[in-house]
């Protein structure tokens, strides 16, 4: 018997409730927040009748702690590529070492556990979209997408959070789905592009219970997100459901992030990419 093992992570959540008044019996709203990832390993018999000394392996590592690769006269078990997800969207011009690749692979794996993240990744692979991944330790942000050369730069993949890579993949999605791409909005309209990405990132992390800061520090913004997601339980599916406040909060976002003050808002550039992604997913709406 030859056993093949697969290890994956399951998110474990806890509920956090927000009260408008400490004396209220009922909360204003509640949401799920990510506590940790539980590691699960499943093994199955591959029916090959293969090696008996190193029967179980997981990404090239034997389940009992031994390394089966090339470890015996019978040839050991075949090596499994530990960065399958990344390899599918990484161009051959990328400059990453193995540790960096594996760190990004872990982020992609966690992104894919969510319905919206899975839809985003599936779009890239289904349409043969690939990126030049590179490291820039001097950058301020955790990650950044450049529509000019279709590259994703990361400060340090080992310390980056899930939502930072999710946001940059969404920026790439914007570039691919907006007519003419997003390079045309490097000045006028840049705030539109950035705010749309921030809104879907905030919705993603609140619905999935991922801890992280929001694009706008204001209770009204949080309440707006709660309203559009029905208490952080679903994704908004049409612009009409958020249009009355969308540009008001975009202006507030610019006020709190002065770097966008020199990028005039395009009043005709609505968040079409966000709804395109949501409606192509199997997420609750």
Residue range 151-187, pLDDT digits in tens: 999 999 999 999 999 999 999 999 999 999 999 998 8
Average pLDDT over all residues of the chain: 82
Give the rounded distance of the alpha carbon of 5 from its chain centre: 26
> Within 13 Å of residue 94, how many CA atoms lie on the same side as its CB?
24
Mean pLDDT of 213-225: 96
Q: Are 156 and 144 in contact (CB under 8 A)?
A: no
pLDDT score, position 141: 93
| More confident: 1 or 91 | 91
> Hey, which of 1-15, 71-85, 202-216, 253-267 has the most confident mean pLDDT?
202-216
Q: Residue 234 corresponds to which tokens in the numbers above?
A: 């679903």
pTM: 0.74
Phi, psi (deg, nearest 5) at residue 168: -70, -35
pLDDT tens per residue, range 104-114: 999 999 999 99
When pLDDT is averaged across residues 49-76 and rounded to a whole number, the result is 39
Residue 262 confidence class, pLDDT cut points 50, 70, 90: confident
């Amino acid at each position: 018997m030859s056993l093949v093992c697969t290890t994956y992570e399951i998110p474990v959540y806890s509920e956090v409730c927000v009260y408008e008044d400490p004396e209220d019996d009922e909360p204003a709203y509640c949401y799920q927040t990510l506590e940790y990832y539980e590691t699960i390993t499943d093994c199955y018999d591959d029916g090959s009748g293969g090696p008996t000394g190193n029967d179980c392996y997981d990404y090239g590592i034997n389940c009992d702690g031994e390394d089966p690769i090339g470890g015996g006269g019978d040839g050991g078990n075949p090596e499994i590529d530990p960065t399958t997800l990344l390899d599918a969207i990484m161009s051959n011009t990328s400059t990453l070492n193995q540790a960096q690749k594996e760190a990004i692979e872990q982020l992609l794996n966690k992104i894919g556990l969510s319905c919206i993240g899975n839809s985003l990744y599936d779009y890239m692979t289904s349409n043969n979209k690939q990126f030049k991944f590179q490291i820039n330790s001097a950058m301020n942000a955790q990650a950044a997408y450049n529509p000019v050369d279709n590259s994703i730069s990361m400060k340090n993949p080992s310390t980056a959070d899930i939502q930072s890579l999710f946001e940059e993949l969404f920026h790439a999605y914007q570039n691919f789905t907006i007519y003419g791409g997003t390079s045309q909005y490097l000045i006028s309209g840049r705030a539109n592009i950035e705010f749309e990405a921030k809104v879907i990132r905030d919705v993603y992390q609140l619905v999935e219970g991922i801890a992280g800061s929001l694009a706008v520090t204001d209770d009204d913004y949080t309440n707006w997100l709660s309203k559009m997601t029905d208490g952080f339980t679903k994704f908004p599916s049409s612009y009409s459901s958020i249009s009355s406040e969308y540009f008001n909060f975009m202006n507030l976002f610019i006020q709190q992030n002065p770097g966008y003050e020199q990028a005039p808002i395009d009043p005709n550039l609505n968040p079409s990419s966000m709804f395109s992604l949501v409606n192509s997913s199997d997420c609750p709406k």
